[in-house]
Structure 1
Amino acid sequence: MRMRLDFEPKGDALGRYYTDPAVGQVFISLFDRCQASSILDLGSGAGSLTFAAARRWIDARIQTVDVDLGAEEHIRIGMASYGHLYHNHLVADVLDENLPEIFGGKRFDLAVCNPPYTRIKWREGFSRILAEAGMEGLRTLSPWTLSSDIMFIAQILRLAEPGAEVGVIVPDGLISAKRHRAVRQALLERVRVMRVVQLPRRSFRGTEAQAHVIVFRNERGRGESIEISNLDTDGVSYPISVAKDDACIRMDYGYHRSTKGHLRNAFSLRSIGAEIIRGSLSSAEARQCYEPVFHTSSFNQPSAFDYRLDGSSLTPDRPGRRIAQSGDILLARVDRELQKKICVVRQGQAVLTDCIYRIRVPANWRDSVIRGLLSDAGQAALVGAARGVGARMLSKEDLLDLEIVTP
């Protein structure tokens, strides 16, 4: 019997993006455990991770949990097609604070999870989930920081046996964003993270969002190094060993491959007193402007270090007009490949659209900034900081705090 795929709706209201079966097989291969007796798939959805786990641990009892009433029948049909008999499904809110009581105190020695990509509204029961997961320190953070992925991890920790292995697919923000550093630090202290694997874009049907697999044990971290790898057409790459302190900064393979242990020499635009101004012309205003305009389509000259603009003697900045001039570093704020759209103005002036950042730094820092942003490490940092799919966006705060390594 073939597995049905029509369970997976487009524009899922719960923010779910379903795992490709090939990615599911790679995901399961990242676990060390040769045998598992009880497996939990929290927020199982269509069951891709469940099916992959059933093929590897054929004698394990597998528990799936999902709020969607349609998930149970789909998973039962899939499990029957694999001849896996030891399966139970629970229709429930996976972030119910009483879920351990619903299971009667049952614990699992392995857990898999692909949380939804969505923001969740804070509710009082979350404080209990974090406290019982041993992550009570996160309760002091803004609710906007505690996205669904970290709450799913906390819930799993309440249901996992000591020493259990856990694998979770998480969005790029948890792995690389500056605003999630406190979350990464709390996680690295609470559990023993063994490996992180950066997945290719389009690993999940319906989104181009960057995602990673993080595999850990339910035991206190002791400061061990973490293996960070990349999945591409050749399989999982040879891992980079990253120290815990550096993993708190970021845990994405692209960035660590580029920095090669030089994170301690990084600087930020904020630390050197950079001024970052966003352009102000809308697309409609740009078309009607009689002065030279610089937009994302203007990054078209041969050398990023020698851009020459057409304007001269333009009036200074004023409301509705932000002017680029000699010495300014320009960077796309919104674009599918914004990390590649960087230049230094050597001559001339132009009015900036609202899709461009103007960066002004002390003259003695200018060369280090532009070379750092254009380096492999800088490109990886920009990609990691940008958000969204399709046309990506870089916030001013993330740009100010971006770690830049001088090549």
Structure 2
Amino acid sequence: MMLLAAETNLRRPSLNADAYGRYYTPSQVSQTLIDAITGMRPKLILELGCGQGALACAAQGKWARANYITVDTDLAAMSALKESATYASHTHHIHDALDDALADRIGVPLASVDVGLCNPPYVRPRWRSSFGHILEDAGLSGTLQSVHDAGADLLFIAQNLRLLKQRGKLGLILPDGLITGEKYRGVRHALLREHLVELVVQLPRRVFKGTEAQTHLLVLSKLSGETQEVALSQMSDNGELSATIVVPADLAKHRLDYGFHAMGSSTSRPRSKCAHKITIGNVVQELIRGTTSSSQIRSCPLPVFHLGDFPFPSEFTDGPQVPSKFIQPHSKTTIQQRSYKFARAGDILIARIGRNLQHKVCLLPRGVCVISDCIYAVRAAPEYRQILLAYLVSEDGKIALEAASHGVGAKYLSRADVLSIVLPD
């Protein structure tokens, strides 16, 4: 049987996961995912990239009579499974789960699995032409600008869809990128269009030991009709699930995370009834990103406003403002105008990246200011300027910025993230 060594199979190994890019699933998360898969009496359950078999073990408590098949390329996984598994019928295969001929290798015909379970490794495998076949079979080959951008998460989704029967259920643990990233909007659109996405649960950060990565549970039913709306929930640090909010598919394709959509709803009102809320995109005239990198700041003939230059809100009685040393008269815009991006009087500056970006907001009260590539200048219509500034520096505004951000450690905001933030009534 084919076994690919971790050091040759991975293009971008994870720094904190094991050699195969795996973060092992806590029992609480495994059980929550299994509980979310309803309406099934499965005969065959498959876990690809199973590691120690946490998901399959949790499933056995619910479906004791099912047949279980687990697959992992790691030789050590077999011994771990023998110690933890108590399946009545269980077959384990030491094999590459992303082999396009996997169905033949493990004796499981395509479109025959009742329930698929998967916590994909957090890596990007070295591209193989056979990956294109897997994505094509699953209807996901056209969802990215380049198929070479497909990470293990997307490839494992595609492989599971190939093996899953129609109306079979797929339970996944996915990274934040697939759920919220602009790059993966096409993936979300395809999943919502072709399958019934039933539930997405936003997990607490640090739920997986060794990483702060934001992760989510997702349950879908294969080819069970186009998704009309998705139920979203959030798990607290103590494992409790919030009440669900319901998001229509046209909003869900933009983002599928509870934290973002919950900002536009209350506990008694689903997000779908808030589709006509005013967003930042409705009130801004322009959103400008600086172009000066941190390494270029010293060579700029004018002071450059950067991440460390945001003032403390307590320094100003009427809201935080850009310190005067960065403010220049309008005539200064003629200096290297094509090389630098300028904010102008009335613009609201916000941090684009950073661990605490939600706390970095201020107003440019006059003149112009050169901004770095880590800064957005939000140019709102005059009648909304003070309203927007007051909201962004409020506690609710900070929560909204944090909910809209992505990433591990140093978070980031895309243009779409900023423009999609819903303003209060």
TM-score by length of 2: 0.80
Q: Does 1:197 pair with 2:211?
A: no
Identity within the alignment, %: 35
Of 295, 319, 335, 2:354 maps to: 335
Aligned to 1:26: 32
2:51 aligned partner = 45
Following the alignment from structure 1 to structure 2, what is the Cα–Cα distance between the partners of residues 295 and 140?
A: 32
Matched, 1:125 2:137: no
Q: In structure 1, what residue type is equivalent to 2:242?
A: S
Q: Which runs of 5+ in 2 are unaligned?
A: 1-13, 266-272
Which stretch shifts more, 92-101 or 221-230?
Answer: 221-230
| 1:130 positional shift | 2.9
Of stretches 320-329 and 13-22 in structure 1, the one that deviates more from structure 2 is 320-329
Residue in structure 2 matching 1:263, options 243, 253, 275? 275
Deviation at 1:65, TM superposition (A): 0.8
In structure 2, how many angstroms separate the alpha carbons of the residues matched to 1:31 and 1:191?
15
Aligned to 2:9: none
Aligned counterpart for 1:100 among listed residues 100, 103, 107: 103
Report the AA paired with residue 307 of structure 2.
H
Aligned residue in 2 for 1:149: 153
Pick from 85, 89, 93: which aligns with 1:90?
93
Distance 2:185 2:304 in 1: 41
User: 1:17 aligns to what?
Assistant: 23
- How far, CA to CA, are the matches of 1:257 and 1:326 in structure 2? 33
- Of the three residues 178, 197, 220, the one matched with 2:224 is 220
Contact 2:44 2:68 in 1 (8 A): yes
Amino acid at match of 1:16: R
Aligned residue pair count:
394
* Pairwise CA distance, 1:154: 1.6
Compute the displacement of 1:305 (Å).
Answer: 3.8
Q: Choose from 382, 386, 389 the match for 2:405.
A: 386
Change (3 A) 1:308 1:275: closer
Counterpart for residue 163 of structure 2: 159
Q: 1:294 to 1:247 in 2, by over 3 A?
A: closer
Counterpart among 172, 179, 188 of residue 176 in structure 2 = 172
| Corresponding residue SS for 2:61 | helix
What is the deviation of 1:240? 0.9
Structure 2 CA distance for aligned equivalents of residues 138 and 292 of structure 1 = 41
Q: Which residue of 2 aligns with 1:403?
A: 420
* AA partner of residue 91 (structure 1): I
1:236 to 235, 241, 245: 241
Deviations 1:228-261 (A, max 9, x none): 1110026111111222222222211112211123
The answer to whether structure 1 residue 113 and structure 2 residue 113 are counterparts is no
Which of 358, 367, 375 does residue 356 from structure 1 map onto?
375
- The answer to which of 192-201 and 8-17 deviates more is 8-17
> Residue in 2 aligned with 1:309?
323
Q: Secondary structure at the match of 2:55?
A: helix
Within 1, Cα distance between the matches of 2:395 and 2:185?
Answer: 22
Structure 1 pair 14/274, CA: closer, same or farther in 2 (3 Å)? farther
* CA distance in structure 2 between the aligned counterparts of 1:150 and 1:321, rounded to whole angstroms: 38
Distance, in Å, in 2 between the alignment partners of 1:125 and 1:155 is 11
Provide closer, same or farther for how the CA distance between residues 9 and 341 of structure 1 changes in structure 2, counting only shifts above 3 A.
closer
